[in-house]
């Protein structure tokens, strides 16, 4: 009887330790210092920029627009062809934007439109250029209504040693059809409400 009681107590202790470890693990994955947040974004029609500004309004941090050493053409057909070639060849366009002391940031929001159902090449350049190991990365996206494609998965692949949180995406403009900036009026209001709920869900809000 005594042996049975000892075995029960040991089993209970092991379960309690396991539960405590799991609780600590969950708490650790969502802990982010709001003073050490970087919001990096690429925007062509300013919809992703507007989304980045909504996030910044809610949580603060440092807001940075990604710019290229050699900007993309303004013509839609030309940029589509150029990006298709870059994706095909694996070319990573050099970035004009330089982020000093990136190691000081704990959480990095990465914003971008969907281009050809993929992550835009400049974002691949960013993920390749900087060592984001151990950081929390949160992707956000605007698209023409076709979704994120493989973009979020590419972020995970290119930042294998980072904690990737649930991303956010919303419909933006449709440049192919001449529909450019749409983040205004009711669309802006509804998107801002969705952004606030998303930030609360992933535990990054004041």
Rounded to whole angstroms, how far apart are CA atoms 109 and 59? 11
Q: What is the pLDDT of residue 32?
A: 67
What was the pLDDT predicted at 1?
A: 44
Q: Which whole number is the average pLDDT over 149-178?
A: 97
Taking the C-alpha atoms of residue 73 and residue 185, their distance in angstroms, rounded to an integer, is 29
pLDDT at 33: 76
pLDDT of residue 38: 97
3-state SS assignment for residue 116? coil
Domains and CATH numbers, the chain: 33-201 (3.40.50.360)
**Residue 183 pLDDT grade (very low, low, confident, very high; cuts 50, 70, 90):** very high
Return mean pLDDT, the chain: 87
3-state secondary structure of 81: helix
CA atoms of 201 and 206, how far apart (whole Å) = 12
* Number of C-beta neighbours around residue 102 at 10 A: 16
**Residue with more model confidence, 197 or 19:** 197
């Amino acid at each position: 009887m005594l042996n049975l009681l000892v075995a029960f107590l040991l089993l209970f202790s092991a379960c309690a330790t396991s539960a405590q470890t799991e609780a600590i693990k969950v708490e650790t994955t969502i802990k982010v210092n709001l003073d050490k947040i970087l919001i990096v974004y690429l925007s062509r029609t300013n919809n992703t920029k507007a989304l980045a500004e909504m996030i910044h309004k809610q949580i603060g941090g440092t807001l940075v627009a990604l710019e290229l050493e050699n900007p993309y053409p303004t013509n839609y057909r030309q940029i589509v062809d150029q990006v298709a070639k870059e994706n095909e060849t694996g070319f990573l366009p050099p970035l004009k934007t330089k982020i000093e002391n990136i190691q000081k940031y704990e959480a990095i929001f990465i914003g971008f439109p969907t281009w050809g159902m993929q992550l835009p090449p400049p974002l691949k350049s960013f993920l390749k250029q900087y060592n984001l190991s151990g950081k929390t990365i949160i992707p956000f996206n605007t698209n023409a209504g076709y979704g994120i494609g493989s973009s979020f998965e590419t972020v995970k692949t290119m930042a294998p040693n980072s904690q990737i949180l649930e991303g956010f995406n919303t419909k933006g403009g449709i440049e192919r059809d001449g529909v450019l900036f749409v983040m205004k009026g009711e669309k802006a209001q509804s998107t801002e409400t969705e952004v606030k709920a998303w930030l609360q869900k992933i535990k990054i809000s004041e």
